[in-house]
Amino acid sequence: MHLSDWTLEQLAEGLLPQAEHRDASLHVESCARCASVVDGYHALFAALAEMPRFAPSPGFSDAVIARTRLTPEPGPVALWLRQFMPKTRRGWAMLAAAVVAPALPILGAIAWLLTHPLLTPVSLWQWATAQGTAAWASTSVVAVRWAANTGVAGVLLGAYDAARAVPPEALTVLATLLAIAIPLSVWAIVRLVRTPMKNVTYAN
């Protein structure tokens, strides 16, 4: 009985486990047909191993290097940040909207306020100074009350007093601006996150 071709191939390649190798070698020594097959494989493997490796043209390396991006890869933080960077014009537009949206109503409100005849740089400065002083006084009051009534109730009472010190018009304007800017900004961020930003390509 002869050995299978696969076993003879494995024997010729030297890939049989030790025990099988010994048994197969013993068989081949006494079997002319199997010995001939193994010799044939040895000759084939030797001929294949002799095949030369071809060289590409002399300018091959330079051509590859010319098409290779040699810029250093950014560090881990930059790589992490890069995944959030928009890759499309639409993505950049969304990012710009997210950043600019909260600023626009504030700038608009300032522009509107500056058109008022009684509002001059000097009066604005005086108003701002007065507000600052009032806020500082309120903060002091809050601190004193907090110290006196240690606990959440004291802090809330102090905060309420501080809020009362701010003119109601200013609070209304601030609330309006935030009511417009915050939803607009959230909308822009949501659109930004949902927009596909990567042109995914694969190396293989």
Partner 1 sequence: MNLALIPATDHDLIALARTGSEKAYRELLDRYQRPVFSLVYRMVRDRELAEDLAQETFVKVFNHLDRFNPKYKFSSWIFKIASNLAIDRLRKREPDTVSLDGSRHASTPDEVEATRITVESKDENPEEFLEAKELGEEIERAIGLLRPEYRTAILLRHVEGRAYEEIAEVMGVPLGTVKTFIHRARAELRETLAHLRIET
Residues in contact with partner 1 by the rule CB under 8 A: 5-6, 9, 40-41, 43-45, 47-61, 63-65, 67-73, 201-204
CB of 2 to partner 1, least distance (A): 16
Q: Report the Cα 169 to chain-centroid distance in Å.
A: 43
When the beta carbons of 85 and 186 are compared against partner 1, the nearer one is 85
CB of 15 vs partner 1, minimal distance in Å: 8
What is the C-alpha to C-alpha distance for residues 117 and 105, in angstroms, rounded to an integer?
A: 21
Query: Locate tokens 């004193």: which residue?
Result: 144
Compute the least distance from the CB of residue 40 to partner 1, in Å.
6
**Cβ 32 to partner 1, closest distance in Å?**
14
| Torsion from C-alpha of 91, 93, 95, 96, nearest 10 degrees | 160
Q: Is the Cβ of residue 36 or residue 126 nearer to partner 1 in the bound state? A: 36
Question: Which one, 54 or 118, has the nearer CB to partner 1?
Answer: 54
| Nearest CA among 47, 9, 15 for reference residue 28 | 9
Give dist(CA 40, CA 46) in Å, integer: 10
